[in-house]
């Protein structure tokens, strides 16, 4: 896996996919819909942020489980760096969502279960980082935060994807609303959307591995000193 991190073909692939999704996202054909108008193109940019965040949190939880099995320090480092980059994508998703909501719903933050769920999920992962900083001893920190992380992940999934579906929500894909893919996304949009999602996920993983590798170099330096 470490050699995979150092290969560049998937990084180039991610970059090319993001760039082509920008061009096709601006210029490609989209369905003509009231209220949304051209803002439907935001699907190509707002939604991939959340998909990348979920992927990074999933990587984090996998490495937390691995850490509890192996007790290897590197697994803990991977888990925390995945959350660090995941939170970056989470904030980008929140900001772009608020800008979009301001135009289409008339309010950047209507008290919507999907939005409030995402806010709680964000706080939960910020708490993960605070928890880590609060614990001094390295092994204890790794172990406790790994357990916290394993609990946080399913709660995040419930808050973002299950609870909003059970109540009324403005957000597409929640509370009886159809998702964009059911109703509005025609087959012209689909390839662009998936290109954007995969491109941004690869980019997120790339940034995560950069941070991870930097931490490893740092640790090796500290050992030598």
Partner 1 sequence: MIYMKTLIITFLTIICSLELVTAQSQIEQIEMATGLRSSGKIWVVVLVVLTLIIGIFLYLFSIDRKIKKLENHK
Positions that interact with partner 1 (CB under 8 A): 6, 8, 11, 15, 18-19, 22-23, 26-27, 30, 32-34, 37-38, 203, 206-207, 210, 213-214, 216-217, 220-221, 224
Minimum Å gap between C-beta 35 and partner 1 is 9
**Nearest to partner 1 of 33, 158 (CB atom):** 33
Minimum Å gap between C-beta 46 and partner 1 is 15
Distances from the Cα of 36 to the Cα of 9, 14, 74, angstroms? 37, 28, 46
Minimum Å gap between C-beta 95 and partner 1 is 16
Minimum Å gap between C-beta 13 and partner 1 is 12
10 Å Cβ neighbour count for 14?
19
Minimum Å gap between C-beta 38 and partner 1 is 5
**Nearest to partner 1 of 99, 139 (CB atom):** 99
| Length in residues, the chain | 225
**Nearest to partner 1 of 152, 202 (CB atom):** 202
- How far is Cα 212 from Cα 204, in angstroms, rounded to an integer? 12
Both tokens of residue 202? 């690869």
**Nearest to partner 1 of 4, 224 (CB atom):** 224
Decide: 79 and 60 in contact? Cβ < 8 Å: yes
**Nearest to partner 1 of 18, 80 (CB atom):** 18
- How far is Cα 64 from Cα 60, in angstroms, rounded to an integer? 6
Minimum Å gap between C-beta 12 and partner 1 is 9
**Nearest to partner 1 of 40, 115 (CB atom):** 40
Minimum Å gap between C-beta 94 and partner 1 is 20
Name the phi and psi angles at 178, rounded to 5.
-75, 155
**Nearest to partner 1 of 169, 209 (CB atom):** 209
Both tokens of residue 108? 């950047």
With a CB cutoff of 8 Å and minimum separation 6, the contacts of 75 are 63, 64, 66, 67
- How far is Cα 45 from Cα 32, in angstroms, rounded to an integer? 18
Both tokens of residue 12? 């180039």
- How far is Cα 32 from Cα 192, in angstroms, rounded to an integer? 17
């Amino acid at each position: 896996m470490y050699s995979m991190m150092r290969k560049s073909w998937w990084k180039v692939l991610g970059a090319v996919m993001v760039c082509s999704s920008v061009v096709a996202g601006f210029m490609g054909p989209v369905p003509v819909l009231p209220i949304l108008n051209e803002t439907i193109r935001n699907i190509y940019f707002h939604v991939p942020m959340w998909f990348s965040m979920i992927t990074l949190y999933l990587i984090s939880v996998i490495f937390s489980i691995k850490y509890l099995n192996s007790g290897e320090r590197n697994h803990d480092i991977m888990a925390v760096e995945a959350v660090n980059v995941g939170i970056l994508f989470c904030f980008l998703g929140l900001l772009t969502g608020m800008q979009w909501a301001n135009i289409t719903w008339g309010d950047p933050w209507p008290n919507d279960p999907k939005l409030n769920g995402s806010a709680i999920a964000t706080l939960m992962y910020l708490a993960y980082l605070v928890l880590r900083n609060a614990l001094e001893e390295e092994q204890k920190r790794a172990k406790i935060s790994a357990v916290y992380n394993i609990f946080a992940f399913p709660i995040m999934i419930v808050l973002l994807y299950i609870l909003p579906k059970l109540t009324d929500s403005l957000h597409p894909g929640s509370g009886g609303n159809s998702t964009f893919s059911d109703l509005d996304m025609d087959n012209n949009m689909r390839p662009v959307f998936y290109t954007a999602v995969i491109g941004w996920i690869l980019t997120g993983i790339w940034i995560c591995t950069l941070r991870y590798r930097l931490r490893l170099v740092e640790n090796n330096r500290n050992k030598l000193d």
